[in-house]
């Protein structure tokens, strides 16, 4: 019997486990390639091909999502059914079970548990930093607001009296 193609294997996985969109599997596969390249560029890591740990893959998937989708990363992942790091683990192990990816004896689904918070990883990098106004500037804002309120009251009185 002939081994199914990557696409056929993914289609079969999605039929059996519809929690995640087909594109989620393609993203994880591409994200794994991205992670391997990223690890090869690391001057402190081993240069030869080696196994990627769950934590390394999570970091690579985070970086790849941010590079590909920017501020839409969390939205895109959630659209595909990926809402937490454990979902990446489910996808990886679905692919392992179909023979698309390999694993070592030490690899477990739990390796993906609690990797990072999606809000922190995919939303916060794009939010502006909050400015904490000093007490002086808060007082200045209050006095500006008071002046504006006085001007509004004065203008309303003029309008109600019929003067310009």
Residue 23: pLDDT band (50, 70, 90) is very high
Other residues' Cβ atoms within 10 Å of the Cβ of residue 11 = 14
Task: Locate the domains of the chain by residue range.
Answer: 6-126, 134-164
Q: How large is the average pLDDT for residues 20-25?
A: 99
For residue 47, what are the CA distances in angstroms to 41, 42, 102, 163? 8, 8, 20, 82
Mean pLDDT of the residues in the chain: 85
Q: Is 42 helix (H, G, I), strand (E, B) or coil?
A: coil
Residue 36 burial class via C-beta count within 10 angstroms: exposed 0-12, middle 13-18, buried 19 and up: middle
Residue 44, pLDDT score: 64
Alpha carbon distance 164, 162 (integer Å): 7
Residue 3, pLDDT score: 79
Residue 42, pLDDT score: 75
Lowest-pLDDT choice from 45-49, 108-112, 117-121:
45-49
């Amino acid at each position: 019997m002939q081994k199914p193609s990557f696409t056929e294997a993914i289609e079969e996985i999605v039929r059996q486990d519809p929690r995640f969109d087909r594109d989620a599997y393609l993203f994880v596969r591409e994200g794994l390639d991205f992670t391997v390249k990223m690890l090869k560029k690391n001057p402190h890591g081993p240069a030869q091909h080696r196994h990627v740990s769950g934590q390394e893959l999570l970091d690579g998937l985070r970086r790849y999502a941010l590079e590909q989708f920017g501020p839409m990363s969390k939205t895109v992942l959630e659209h595909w059914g990926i809402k937490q790091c454990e979902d990446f683990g489910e996808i990886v192990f679905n692919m392992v079970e179909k023979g698309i990816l390999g694993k070592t004896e030490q690899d477990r689904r739990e390796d993906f548990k609690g990797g990072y918070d999606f809000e922190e990883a995919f939303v916060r990098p794009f939010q502006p930093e909050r400015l904490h106004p000093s007490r002086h500037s808060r007082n200045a804002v209050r006095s500006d607001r008071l002046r504006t309120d006085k001007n509004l009251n004065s203008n309303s009185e003029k309008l109600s009296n019929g003067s310009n």
